């Protein structure tokens, strides 16, 4: 079951990691960008930070999941560290851009506050993961890294929740989107915290 779970985890991470490539290959104006105003789409600042967010987010997704491989850490610790540095750097760029974009989120203040809070937490947990490993606190580093990637995985859960709520919950797009702006990351963090509690109980 662990192997199956790891495969599913990896497949979703890679698929969503390469998803932004579509923006350079096909017309995405009828998708996410279709809900944006012409003024926003013509803004050079918004466009720059949007593509910074999705491209650096893709690198975060692709490098982050490899950090959970015990075999990689055991066989090539230098590669693990290099990928970790790339992950931290890409999160800082993607998360800061995401925080800016949250002020222009579809759905207004509710969605904006949801995505903005997620961006702040993503940046914060990633910085903590970096600082704790610098201080030699391996266990704390691993916990902060799990929290950080749980937030990164919001890119995956958003794309599962949104069509699911529309198809099976009968919700209109905007209603589903407002809910998903929180639903895509709050349960992820809750699962991570439950994992820490369970691990602590098993060790005691």
Q: Please, are residues 194 and 184 in contact by the beta-carbon 8 Å criterion? A: no
- For residue 32, the 8-state DSSP code is G
Residues 6+ apart with CB under 8 A from 159: 16
How many folded domains does the chain comprise? 1
What domain range is 147 assigned to?
Answer: 37-203
Domain annotation covers residue 27: no
Domain annotation covers residue 23: no
Domain annotation covers residue 84: yes
Domain annotation covers residue 60: yes
Range scoring the smallest mean pLDDT among 30-34, 75-79, 147-151, 184-188: 30-34
Domain annotation covers residue 67: yes
pLDDT digits (tens, 9 = 90+) for 55-101: 999 999 999 988 888 888 888 889 999 999 999 999 999 999 999 99
- Of residues 30 and 135, the one with the higher pLDDT is 135
Q: What is the pTM of this model?
A: 0.91
The phi and psi torsions of 174 (rounded to 5 degrees) equal: -65, -40
Domain annotation covers residue 31: no
* 149/198 Cα distance (integer angstroms): 19
pLDDT band at 176 (very low <50, low <70, confident <90, very high): very high
Domain annotation covers residue 119: yes
Domain annotation covers residue 11: no
């Amino acid at each position: 079951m662990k192997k199956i779970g790891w495969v599913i985890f990896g497949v979703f991470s890679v698929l969503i990691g390469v998803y932004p490539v579509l923006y350079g290959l096909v017309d995405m104006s009828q998708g996410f960008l279709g809900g944006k105003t012409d003024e926003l789409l013509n803004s050079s600042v918004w466009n720059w930070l949007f593509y910074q967010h999705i491209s650096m987010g893709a690198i975060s997704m692709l490098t982050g999941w490899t950090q959970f491989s015990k075999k990689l850490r055991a066989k090539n610790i230098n590669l693990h560290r290099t990928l970790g540095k790339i992950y931290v750097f890409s999160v800082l760029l993607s998360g800061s851009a995401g925080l800016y974009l949250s002020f222009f989120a579809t759905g207004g203040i509710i969605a904006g506050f949801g995505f903005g809070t997620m961006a702040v937490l993503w940046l914060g947990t990633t910085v903590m993961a970096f600082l704790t490993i610098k201080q030699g606190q391996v266990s704390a580093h691993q916990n902060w890294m799990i929290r950080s990637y749980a937030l990164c995985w919001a890119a995956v859960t958003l794309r599962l929740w949104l069509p699911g709520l529309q198809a099976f919950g009968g919700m209109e797009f905007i209603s589903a989107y407002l809910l998903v702006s929180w639903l895509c990351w709050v349960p992820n963090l809750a699962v991570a915290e439950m994992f820490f509690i369970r691990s602590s109980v098993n060790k005691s």
